[in-house]
Structures are given as C-alpha cells and as structure tokens.
Structure 1
Amino acid sequence: MTLSLMFEIAMLVSSVCGVLVASWLLWRARKQSDLQALAGFAIMMAIWCFGHVVLFQGWERVGIYIILANPLMPTFFLHFAILFVNSGTAKEVMLDRLYQLLPWFYLTSFAVVLQSWWMGAGDAISTLYTGAFFVFTDAGLWNLVYTVLMGVLAHGVLMFGWYRHSGNKKRSILAMCGVGAWGLLLATSFVFPSFGISWFPYPMLLLPTYLLLLVYAVVRYQILSVNAFANRALLWFAMMMVILCVIAVISVVSGRVGLQALSNVPSWQLWLYSLLILVVAALVYQPLSRLVSRLIYPGALLNEAVLDTWSTKLKEAQDWAQLIEVGEALLSAQIRRPVAIQLQMPSFEVTPHNNALAIRLLRSKAGWHFSLIGWEDASPGMRLTAEVFASLFSTSCGLLERSLALAVAERKRLDEQHLVELGSLSAAMAHELRNPLNIIAMAAYDAPAETRQHIQTQLKRADRLVSDMLVYSGGLSLQIAVTPLRSLVESILTQSPVGNVLCEVDIDEQLELEADPQRLQQVFINLIDNALSFLRNTEKGKLRITAQEYADQVVIHVHNNGPKIDESLQGEVLFQPFVTKRAGGSGLGLAIVRRIVDAHGGHIQHQTDAVWPVTFELVLPRHHAPAHLGRPSYGTE
C-alpha cells in the first residue's frame, strides 16, 4: 500500500466521519443551536477532506475550489464557540455583540472564498509521494491567514468561557482546547508543500480522530450515552493496536522458527485478516452473549427495557405498602410465579406470606440488605432475576425512605408555622374574649340563682375553651423531673368528680418517669375527664388505668367500658383539633394530649378489644429522649 493511497483513504474516512457526525448531531441537537453550528463545522470538514480525494482522482480544478473553501470551517466553529460559551442563565455582553456580528463573519468568509477562486489562490503539484497535492499560491496567503485568524478567534472565545464558567462546561472547554491543539498539530503538515518543504504529511493520516475527539469533548457531559459508546470504541481500538503489534512480532519471528510460509505473507495482509476477524467478533458478540445467557440462565429475560420499567414503576410508589404491592406484582409477572416481599424496619413490618418464594429486606445502620427465601429449588434464571430485582428494590427502599423523611420534615415545619400563627391569634382572642366574659359574670351577680348558675356554667365552659386554645397553640416547653406515676394518677382521680364510676389503678408504687409533671398531669386530666363524661351516664361505669415497664419504655393503658368511639373518628382523626362528639367539649383535649406525649418522645393511640370498648395506649420513655418512638414490641394486656 503506497503512501498516496493511504493518504487518500485517510481523507475519505475523514469525509465519511464528518457526514456521520454531522447527521448524528443534527438528530440529537433538535433545538440546540450550538450543536447545529458544530454540525455545520463537521459538514464543512467533510467537504474539505473530500476535496483532497477529488484532487487525487484527477479532478484538480474541482478539488482546488473545494479546498479553498476552508475559511468556512473556522467560521462555523466560531459560531459554535459563541453559542456554547454564552449558553445558560448568565449572558456575556461581549459575546452577545460578537454573536450579532456573525452574519458579517459568514459574509466575509464567503467573500474570501470567492476572491480565492477568482485570483487562483490554489494549485496542485506533484511530490515524491503523491501525484497531486494542494498548495497555496502567493494570492492564497490571504486565504490561509484569514483561516488561521478565525480559528484563533474561536479558540479565544473558548478560553474566555473557560475563565468564566465552572463545572462540566469548564471541563468540556478544556477538553476542546486540548483537541484543538491536536488538530493544529495534524493540520500543520498540510501547508508544508506550500512553503517548499518536501515532506509527506504523515500527521494528516490521523485526521479522522480530530473530529471524533472534538465532538466527544463537547457532548461528553451532555449526552451520557456517548460515554458508553466511547468506552466500547476505545476498547476495540486498543485490541486493534494489540493485534497490530502481535502481527509485527509474528512477521519477524515466524521465519526464524521454521514457519517460512507465514513469514512470506505480507504483514499488511496478516493485519487485515486479523482486523476482519476482530470486526466479525464484534458483530457476533452481542447475539452470542444473549444466547449463552439464555443457556446458562434460562427464563431470565433481563434487558434495559425491563430494568427501566421496574425502576419507573417502583419510583411511583408513595408509601411502603404501595411499594411492596408494586414490587410483588412486577417480579411475579416477570417469573410467572407468586412472590412475597417482606419488609422489616422499626416503623413498618409486613406479616410474612405463605408463598414459597419471598424476598426479605432489612433496614440496618449500613443501609438496606436483602435475602432470598425459598429460592433453593428455583432455576438459575429465576434466581438471577430475583437477585437483580432485589438489588433494584433495595435502592428504591432507600429513595422512598429519604422521600418520606423529607415529607415529614416539611409537614413538621408547616405545622410549627401554623402553631405560631395560631398562638398569636389565640392570645389575641383570649385577651379580647375574657374581658367581656368578666363583664358578663359581674352583670349576672344580681340575677336569680338558677339563671346565675346557668350563666356561670357557660362562662366556665367558655373559659375552658380559651385555656385549651392557649395550651394547644402556645409554645410547649418541658420542665423534666423524676415523677412517680401512681401518686400522680391517684391525686387526679381524688380531685375528679367520679360519682358512681368505679376507678381502678394498677401501677407499681416504685414506677417513676423522667417527665414534666405539670404536662403529664394535664394528659391524665384530659383523658380521665373525657372518660368520666361518658361513664357518668353508663350503668356500672368502670375506669381502669394500668402501667407496665418494657426495657426503657413505660406502656400506660387508660381503659373504660363506656360507649365505643364512632368509627368515623377513629385513627388519626381522633387526635385532630376541634374533633369531638362530647357534649360541651372543646375538641382540643386529645389534640393537647397528643402534643404533650409527642414532646416527651412518646406515642399515643386508640385501641378497642373484647373487654374494654375504649382504650387509650400511651408509650413513654422512662428517661427523657424527645425522639419519636415506634410501636413497642409487646402484647396488649
């Protein structure tokens, strides 16, 4: 293979690469004007390289005209550089003005090309290595100088962008400048014959790499799929280089070891055959890989589409129950067998299913871990599918956990903001309401006894409502002290109008809590008063208060045999403010209880069972720790 043929092939490959790169950029660019300008640069470079091919084929005049159009290449690159550097929120005034001058740059470039054609700025000469090679005449120096200046201006814009930007854009600009230096090194040999230097332009044989590297430097941080392609391309290029070195060694050594027939084969033929084998291997690699995977893991039809579907569906889950439901449906549909997902964490636990196949996920300090249960007799393909899915599901658990934590934090912030606003409003209302209430009380002093008693009752109710609003909406500060629980409860019962209600207290005398005694007293006052209001009208009414100690927690139950709470009020609704069916109630009692228990780092909930129609369960830490506690792991009494 002659040097002339090698040069012609390199120019043809560069031209084809330019067309392919420009087409790809236009397809991916859509409305990205900077990539459209880069596509224009790639097309002009493809045309310029094709001009050399035409020149070598004997069409000298056409080839010269095409090559003399080279000022358009740096003009397109300048267009791209301005748009790339000036993209984003911060616009540069200088680049805006330069962008407004772009039509004049294009017009000047066209004028230089037309002048070069008219004045005969190029010619073709024969060299020692090529039959025809382009050279600039004396009239073409202006064409060459203008092209170089435009290239310098474009790279000057890039350097300005490197100074002004940061992050990925700065890295891209730095890579482009490095590729520009590589392009300058390759293109320098093109002008040697124009200055009388009789030297073959070996660097131009590598010209196809310039355009590919330039585009890769631009889109590496914008289009991530390009990096995967570049990874494969670099791998195959490295393999080609290794084969080339091996063939070179074989050519030298084969004759000395008795393989005369092999040593007589030209090295370029050996390299071409090896390259052909490498290309065939690249083409059949993916099909053979899928075939082998199906043989080893039958039934495991995993691909990017399946994984993307799994990831998308799992990300749509809003809570743990929905995540488990979606996960079980996806995996069961994939392997065509029912699968259960068991999630174990402090605040959520799913009851194990009776399914033969299950995936158990456990939350630990190090993160989420999974284990396969009952998969010993499953096929390798099914087990591989389960492992891949479990790994993806573990990631989804972490994402959902962080999402719920952010939602809780945001809800807490809004609640605190609401309480601050409500506190200000309540304080103003208390001041404005108590003044007329005092006037009414004094005005009723001379009223008949029955009327005065009725007015006093309603005034107490109004005053209680105002007090409850102040307590609920005000700031809640705790004065922690060691508090004996039994004596606290008994003192409240002694002062309460129990009437004919039977009250029992089953609390150890030695049981003590680190809590605010005043706030804790308010909790029991509200719960006892709420229970007595229903038990006074109940035959054989009974109130029972018990407490048990579990590790560092104290579990308190306040039972009563009054009427069951309406189903519409059960759950979280029961503890919302202004929710009540008690005659004369403010609807703030249980809401206040909830606030005080939460402030102590505890938990309260309503329960029903066969013995006690109404039960309130309080979980409080023995030692003050204002962190929310989950449900304790014990059985109910």
Structure 2
Amino acid sequence: MSLLVAFEISMLLTTVCAVLLAGWLLWQGKKQPAMPALAGFAGMMALWCAGHIAILQQWHAPGIMLVLANPLMPMFFLHFAVQFVGFGRQHSRLLRYWPRLKWPLYGLTLLLILLSWYGHGGTVVATAGFAGFFVFTGIGWLNLAYTVLLGVAAHLVLYLGWLRHSGNKRRSIVAMFLAGGWGLLLATSFIFPSLGLAWYPYPMLLLPSYLLLLVYGVVRYQLLAINAFANKALLWLGMLLLVLALMALVSAMLGQFGMQALAAVPASQLWLYSVLLLLLSALCYQPLAALARRLIYPGVQLSDTLLAHWREQLLQADSWPALAQQASELLSVQLRQQVRVQLPQASSADSDSGLRLVCQRDGSGWHYQLSGWHDVTPGYRLQGDVFAALLQSNCRILEQSLKLADAERKRLDQQHLVELGALSAAMAHELRNPLNIISMASASTSADTRQHIQQQLKRADRLIADLLSYAGQLQLHCTEVPLKALVQSVIQQQDWQGVQCELAIDEALNLHADSYRLQQVLVNLLDNALAFCRNQAAATIRLEASGNAAAVILRVHNNGPAIPQSQQADLFQPFVSKRAGGSGLGLAIVRRIASAHGASVRHRDDLGWPVSFELVFPHSGAVVAANLQDTH
C-alpha cells in the first residue's frame, strides 16, 4: 500500500467517523445542551478532510475552499467550550457576555473565510510524493492565524472551567486538553508544505484517533452509554489487531507447508479479507446471538427495558408483603401463569402446587429456590432465574432500608420521650393542683354553676390525660383479647345521642394486644367520629374487623363530612386539632399505640364511607373466623 493511498484512507476514515459522530452528538443534544456545538466541530472536520480528498482527486477548487473553511472548526469548538464550562451557572460571566459575542464572532469567521476564498488564500503544489497538496498563500496565513487564535481562546475557556469546576466535569476538561495536545501534534504536519518543507505528513495518518479521543474525553464522564460502546470498540479493535498479526504469521509460514498458491497471495489482501471477515462477524453477532437464544430458550422476551422495568417496580416496595406481592404480579404477567413468591417475612399459603419462587436468608446471605419449575420450558426457566436473581438483590436492599428505618424510628422515639416526658410531668403537677382547688371552691356555688365548672374540669383533666398518654413511655401487657367483647364494652361507655352504631366483628376473632391501650385507641376514634357525626342526618358509625393469616384489620367508618385533601397529611400529627374542644392528640395517640403494637393506622376514603380509619395489626396468634356476622 502506497503512502498516498494510506493518506487518502486516513482522510476518508476521519470524514466518515466525523459525520457519524456529528449525527450522534446532535441526537444527544436533547440531553446535553453543549453537544450540538461539538457536532458542528465534528461536521467541519469532516468537510476539512473531504477537502484534502478532493485535492487528491484533482478537484482543486472545491478542495481549497473546504480547507480554507478551517476557522469554523475552532469557532464551533469555542462555542462548545463556553456552553460546556458555563452551562448551569447563572452567575457565569461567560454566559452573560457570550450571547452578545457569539453571532459577531461567527460573522467575522465567515467573513474571513469569504475573503480567503476571493483572495486566493491557498493553492495546490506537488510535494513529498503528492501530485497535489494544499499550501497557504497570501491572506491564507491570516486565515491560519485566526484559526490558531480561536483554538487558543477555546482552550483558555476550558482552563477557566478547570479552575472553577470539580468532579467529572473537571476530568472531562483534562481529557480535552490531552486530546487537544494530541491533535496539535497531528495537525503540525499539515503546514509542512506551506513552510517549504517537502516532508510527508505522517502524523496526519493518525488523524481519525484525534476526533475519537476528543469526543470520548468529553462525553465519557457525561454520558454513561458511551463507555459501554467504548468497551465493545476496544474489544473489537483488540481482536482486529490479533487477526492481523495471526494472518501475517500464517502468510509467512504457508510456503513451509507447501501451500504455494496461498503463499503467493499478497499479505495486504489477506489482511483485507481478515478485516472484512471480522467486520462481518461483528455485524452478524447480535442477530445470531438473538437467534440462538430463541432456539435454545423459546419464548424468552428478556430485554434491558424489561429488566429496568422489573427493577423500578421492585424498588417501590417498602415492606416484605408488598415486595412479595409485587414480585408475584410481575413474574405472573411475564410468564402468563400464576407464580407465588415467598419471602421469610411475608406470609403465604402453604400449598405446594404451582410455580413458586422462594427467597430466603441464611448465615451466608440471600438465596433463592425455584419450586415446581421442573415442567416449564427452558425459556421460562431462564426468565425465572433472571427474575429471581434480581429479586434476591432487592431483598438485600429492602433489608438494609428497613434496618435504617427501624434505627431512625427508635432514635425519634427516644428523642420524643426525652422532650415530652419532662413537659408532661411538669404540666400534670402544675395544672392538676389548681384544678383541684377550683373543684373544691365550686362546692359553695349554685347547682348550675357547679355543674358547668365540673364539666370544664373534666375536659381539662381529659386534656392532661391525653398529653400524659402521648408523652409517657408505653408499657404493653399483651394477651389474647376477644375483639368483639372489647369493642362492645367501649361502645357502651359512649354517649351516642341518636348516632346509629353498627358492629361487624366475629365472636371468634381474637387479637394479641394490650386491652387497655386498645380501648384507648377505640375511645379516641369513636370520640372523634361522634364529634363530627352528631349533627348529621342519619348519622352512622360502623366498626368492623376481619382477619387472615397475615394480619387482623380493624376499621372504623362514619358518614360525617369528608376530610379535605389539604388536611389529610396532618391528621396524625400532634397538637393539630380538627374539631372544637379537641386537644389535637387523639389521632396522634392512636398512631403511637398502634406503632407500639407493630401495627399501622391510616385514613381511607375509598371504602364506600366519607371517612374511614384502618388499623392493621400483624399476625400474632390471631384466630380467624370463617365469616363475619353483622350486629346492629
């Protein structure tokens, strides 16, 4: 291969790479605002190399014009550098003045290019084995000086950015400086003929590497996808060099084995055939791999998009039952048949029939087991294994999240006790003494006045009791509590004043809880409901409970006015009263007692009632009846 052909191939490769990179960078411009300017830089490099190819093909006039358009290349790079360094910084002076300078600079650049064209700023001469090579003449030297000046300005902007930024952006700037030094070294040989030096421009043969290194240095820290592409590119480049070395060795040894016909084939042709074969293999690898997967694992529909969807959905689960349910739904939809997922902390039916995915933890970590999968196709089994590995990873993540949440809850509880314990004790001492004096003093007043005073004293005593209940440390004494009997005793203590009460709790339903604290919960919820229902037509409060293998669910409904959406976020916050005469601690006490039992409480408006409060007590010796009976 002659040096002339090598130069033409190098320019052609640079042109093709620059065009492809320009298109890709324009597409990435939707995500990175500085990328379109870098795409312009790549496009101008493609035109500059195309100008050299045109000169080699004896198209001197268009070739000279393309080469003299060289100043647009550093102009685009300066534009990119300003955006890359200043983007996202509102107080940047570069961003402040750049909009005023940008278009005048582009205009000046285009004007100089036009002057270079009309002033014959370049010509073609024969030198160093070239029948024609570009050299600067006359105003062309001003064109070159302006090009260098723009390049210096762009790198000065990058230096200022290096001083200001840190992290990946600073690393990108360093990579651009290194690539720029490499490009300067390669471009130096371009002006040899213009300086009267008849030297072959060997460095220009490596010009394709400059553009690739520059763009990769810019985007590798900004766009993670390019790193995966670079990883594959280096792999195929290594394979290409290995094939070339192997073919050189084979061609040298063919004559020793009597293969004279093959030995007579030029080494350049063997290399070309090998390169074409390798490129063909690279193009066919993905389709053939997909075909092989379809043949070996029929029905498999795994993709990066599907795996990302699985991962996103599993990460949304914030408890073991939620994770088990979410995983079961995702895998069942994918396989189009029911798959039950069992986790240690999430209860599940004990049936051994059907497909099951069991994920459990032992001393060495998390492990999974596919049960009942012996009759499924290899494709379904592969999908099950991939999903199980992903679920195993999510189990580790959820385990750590729950540990952190538990530690934070304990810290907040401790802080809560310290802050409010002292406050509640002080208030009980300071308030109850004067209240007792007022009570004794009211004995000498009239009957109506004494009754009014006693009612207000009872209210004050209730407020103090609520504060002590919320602030004090909870000591639970849990036993098996017949839930219906407990609820009935609480109902009998309330002043219903015409409000209808409905009860739907089975006689056989027991709850492992502290009966006194559970009564506090019911009293607070009923007091709250009665306060809003008494003035309603056909006022009704309904208490119902159900149980399963995982939990006992207790609900208190009422048909009072619905709670506005703006108030729902603060329902369980302390000292936020939603009714006249309330302490603002009723629902906060309910939540605290529920949390002490390991239960949860929440407000719901999707159960057919304007207002519903739902408590979910985790399974702990609950006895579940087959059906619920309604009692009015």
TM-score with structure 2 setting the length:
0.72
8 Å contact from structure 1 (residues 375, 383) kept in 2 = yes
**Counterpart residue number, 1:294:** 294
Could you tell me which residue of structure 2 aligns to residue 468 of structure 1?
465
Please, which moves more after superposition, 62-71 or 254-263?
Answer: 254-263
Contact 1:15 1:50 in 2 (8 A): yes
Residue in 1 aligned with 2:380? 382
Quote the residue 1:280 is aligned against. 280
Displacement of 1:442: 0.4
SS at match of 2:203: helix
The 5 Å alignment of 1:352-501 reads: 352-363=350-361, 368-400=366-398, 438-439=437-438, 441-445=440-444, 458=455, 461-462=458-459, 464-474=461-471, 476=473
Aligned to 1:239: 239
Three-state SS of the structure 2 residue aligned to 1:221 is coil
Which residue matches 2:627?
Answer: none
Contact kept? 2:439, 2:454, Cα under 8 Å: no
Q: Deviations over 1:149-197 (max 9, x none)?
A: 2212211211221222111111111111111122112111111111222
Q: Given the superposition, is the C-alpha separation of residues 634 and 54 from structure 1 closer, same or farther in structure 2, using an over 3 Å criterion?
A: same
Instruction: Return the offset for 1:424.
Output: 7.3
Deviation of the 1:464 alpha carbon: 3.7
Percent of aligned positions that are identical = 45
Q: Distance in 1 between matches of 2:205 and 2:360?
A: 59
CA contact (8 A) 2:64 2:123 kept: yes
Tell me how far apart the structure 1 counterparts of residues 62 and 144 of structure 2 sit (CA, whole Å): 19
**What is the distance in 1 between the residues matched to 2:468 and 2:478?**
12
Greater shift, 287-296 or 438-447, is seen at: 438-447
Q: What's 1:567 paired with?
A: 543
Q: Classify 1:587/1:13 alpha carbon distance in 2 versus 1 (closer, same or farther; 3 Å).
A: closer
Which stretch of the first structure deviates more once superposed, 458-467 or 281-290?
Answer: 458-467
Aligned-pair distance for 1:212?
Answer: 2.2
How far is 1:593 from its partner? 9.9
Contact in 2 for aligned 1:594/1:604 (Cα 8 Å): no
Task: Judge which range, 218-227 or 176-185, deviates more.
Answer: 218-227
1:334-391: CA deviation from partner (whole Å, max 9, x where unpaired): 333322100113xx43343433321111246765432222334443332221110011
Residue segments in structure 2 that go unaligned for 5+ positions in a row = 494-511, 523-541, 546-551, 557-571, 576-581, 601-616, 624-632
Match of 1:213 in 2: 213
8 Å CA contact 2:25, 2:35 repeated in 1: yes
SS in structure 2 of the partner of residue 361 of structure 1:
strand
Structure 1's 415 and 18: CA in aligned 2 closer, same or farther, altered over 3 A?
Answer: same
AA matched with 2:340: A
Q: Secondary structure at the match of 2:343?
A: strand
- How far residue 399 of structure 1 moved from its aligned partner, in angstroms, is 4.5
Deviation at 1:47, TM superposition (A): 1.0
The AA in structure 2 aligned to 1:327 is A
**Partner SS, residue 355 of structure 1:** coil
Structure 1 pair 42–459 and aligned structure 2 pair: CA distance change class (3 A): closer
Q: Is the 8 A contact 1:426 1:473 kept in 2?
A: no
Q: Does the C-alpha gap of structure 1 residues 99 and 396 become closer, same or farther in structure 2, counting only changes over 3 Å?
A: same
Deviations 1:221-259 (A, max 9, x none): 232222222222221111111111122222333334433
TM-superposed deviation, 1:605: 7.5
Deviation at 1:58, TM superposition (A): 1.3
Aligned to 2:65: 65
Structure 2 partner of 1:250: 250
What is the match of residue 30 of structure 1?
30
Counterpart contact for 1:25–1:39, Cα < 8 Å: yes
Question: Is the Cα contact below 8 Å between 2:255 and 2:263 reproduced in 1?
Answer: yes
Matching residue's letter, 2:467: L
Q: Give the Cα separation in 1 of the matches to 2:81 and 2:585.
A: 66
Contact 2:421 2:472 (C-alpha < 8 Å) held by counterparts: no
Pair 1:76 & 2:52 matched: no
- The corresponding residue for 2:340 is 340
Q: Is the 8 A contact 1:342 1:352 kept in 2?
A: no
Q: Secondary structure at the match of 1:465?
A: helix
Alpha-carbon distance in structure 1 between the residues aligned to 2:344 and 2:147: 69
Q: For residues 37-88 of structure 1, what are the alpha-carbon distances to aligned partners after superposition, in whole Å with 9 as ceiling and x for unaligned?
A: 1111111111111111111111212211221111111111011001101112
* Secondary structure of 1:255 counterpart: helix
In 1, the alpha carbon distance for the partners of 2:456 and 2:282 equals: 91
Q: Distance in 2 between matches of 1:198 and 1:557?
A: 99
Structure 2 counterpart of 1:567, one-letter code: L
Count matched residues.
537
Q: For residues 381 and 170 of structure 1, what CA distance do their matches in structure 2 show?
A: 46
Specify the code of the residue in structure 1 equivalent to 2:131: G
**SS at the partner of 2:344?**
strand
Bigger radius of gyration among the two? 1
Deviation digits for residues 4-30 of structure 1 (CA, Å, limit 9, x no counterpart): 222122212222222222122112213
**Does structure 1 retain, via aligned residues, the 8 Å contact 2:189–2:203?**
yes
Alignment partners' CA distance in 2, 1:439 and 1:339: 69
8 Å contact kept, 1:422–1:473: no
8 Å contact from structure 1 (residues 86, 92) kept in 2 = yes
CA shift at 1:121, angstroms? 2.2
Distance 2:17 2:59 in 1: 22
The SS at the match of 1:52 is helix
Distance in 2, Cα, partners of 1:315 & 1:46: 46
**Counterpart in the other structure of 2:144:** 144
Change (3 A) 1:342 1:430: same
CA RMSD of aligned residues (A): 4.6
Partner of 2:184: 184
- Residue in structure 2 matched with residue 481 of structure 1 by the alignment: none
Higher mean alpha-carbon deviation, 61-70 vs 348-357, is at: 348-357
Letter in 2 for 1:343: L
Query: Can you list the C-alpha shifts for 1:515-564, whole angstroms capped at 9, x where unaligned?
Result: xxxx759999xx9xx979949999xxxxxxxxxxxxxxxx987699x9xx
Structure 2 CA distance for partners of 1:229 and 1:447, relative to 1, 3 Å: same
TM-score norm. by structure 1 comes to 0.72
- Assess if the C-alpha contact under 8 Å between 1:523 and 1:596 holds in 2: no
Give the residue type in structure 2 aligned to 1:298. P
Q: Sort the Cα spacing of 1:604 and 1:442 in 2 relative to 1 into closer, same or farther, 3 A.
A: farther
Q: Deviations 1:469-528 (Å, cap 9, x if unpaired)?
A: 23134465xxxxxxxxxxxxxxxxxxxxxxxxxxxxxxxxxxxxxxxxxx759999xx9x
- Say whether 1:202 aligns with 2:193: no
Following superposition, the deviation at residue 396 of structure 1 comes to 3.3
Q: Distance in 1 between matches of 2:94 and 2:114?
A: 30
Query: Quick check: 466-475 or 150-159, which moved more?
Result: 466-475
Q: What is the distance in 2 between the residues matched to 1:155 and 1:535?
A: 80
Deviations 1:295-349 (A, max 9, x none): 333333322233233234334445443432332232223333322100113xx43
Partner secondary structure for residue 130 of structure 2? coil
1:2 is displaced (CA, Å) by 2.4
Distance in 1 (CA, whole Å) between partners of 2:490 and 2:71 is 98
Counterpart amino acid of residue 349 in structure 1: S
